[in-house]
Amino acid sequence: MNCYLIRWVAFIWIVNSVPCAFGMVVSEQTGTLVFYIMTHYGFVPGFDLTEKFLLRKGTVTEDLPSFRLGSSPLIKPTKLIFPDGLSNEYSLVTIFRVRRTTKKDRWYLWQIFDQSGSSQVSVVVDGDKKAVEFSSQGLLKNSFRYTFKSRDLHALFDRQWHKLGISVHSDTVSIYVDCTLAEKKMTDERDSIDLNGRTLISTRVEDGRPVDVCSHDSFLNKYFCSGINSHLAPYLLAQLLKR
């Protein structure tokens, strides 16, 4: 019987960006809405990162169907998640809510590590410090960690649903809360990822146990950012794929 205390629900959406991105468009075909990043090279779709990890559904938590895999880590070979590698510029969007009993926990939203187990890139949500951390590996295999602790991030831990966006550029990382820029930092040059390594999502730092992952698209659509800022649009896909 699967039993654990983690009560987050997260939906992760990632977009590999390419140079010269300049807008976001919506294309409607046969009643299905598909969202793309528009670039000089054409339309580049994002994808639901959770779908590459989750193979079966567990019990229903409250009114939201969710994947619950007990103590099994949500880990996959990186080459299955990013067969063409990870772009130097990309965005990650997640919607989650922390519970009263877990709001101070520290957990990986996303992490990629190489064959030796060294972390190459990660996003950590730290409830105790009310902060978000972005870590990456430099060209000399040295590690860089950037801690975002703006007061605007405190809303993420108020036990309500919020959208967290991470927009990674070649020399900056920006954090958005509910489609509003919370903090931006300059970054060092990053190394490319090891495709022979592993990738994990939604996992507690302390014990490696996974969090619950939501699969309820109609619920998530309520969190669409209709008034997305123009400076955010080229890099952050602020709506989820509606199937």
d(CA 26, CA 28): 7
Q: Has residue 109 got a pLDDT over 60? A: yes
Beta bridge partners of 155: none
* Domain membership flag for residue 239: no
40 or 15: which leads in pLDDT? 15
Over its C-alpha atoms, the chain yields an Rg (Å, rounded) of 17
pLDDT value of position 11: 44
Tens digit of each residue's pLDDT (9 = 90 or more) over 173-219: 999 998 889 999 999 999 999 999 999 888 888 887 777 655 444 44
* Domain membership flag for residue 228: no
* Domain membership flag for residue 235: no
The bridge status of strand 212-214 relative to strand 9-17 is parallel
List the structure tokens of 234.
Answer: 């080229």
Residue 79 main-chain phi, psi, to 5 deg? -65, -20
User: CATH number of the domain that 128 lies in?
Assistant: 2.60.120.200
List the structure tokens of 82.
Answer: 């990013």
Do the beta carbons of residue 55 and residue 46 sit within 8 Å? no
Cα distances from 78 to residues 86, 114, 156, 178, in angstroms, run: 10, 9, 28, 29
* Domain membership flag for residue 170: yes
* Mean pLDDT (whole number) for 23-41: 33
Q: Has residue 145 got a pLDDT over 50? A: yes
* Domain membership flag for residue 243: no
Which DSSP letter does residue 232 get? T
- Give the domain extent around 59: 9-223
pTM for the full predicted model: 0.71
Return the closest-CA partner of residue 226 out of 243, 238, 242.
238
Tens digit of each residue's pLDDT (9 = 90 or more) over 164-185: 888 888 899 999 998 889 999 9
* Mean pLDDT (whole number) for 4-25: 37
Number of domains in the chain: 1
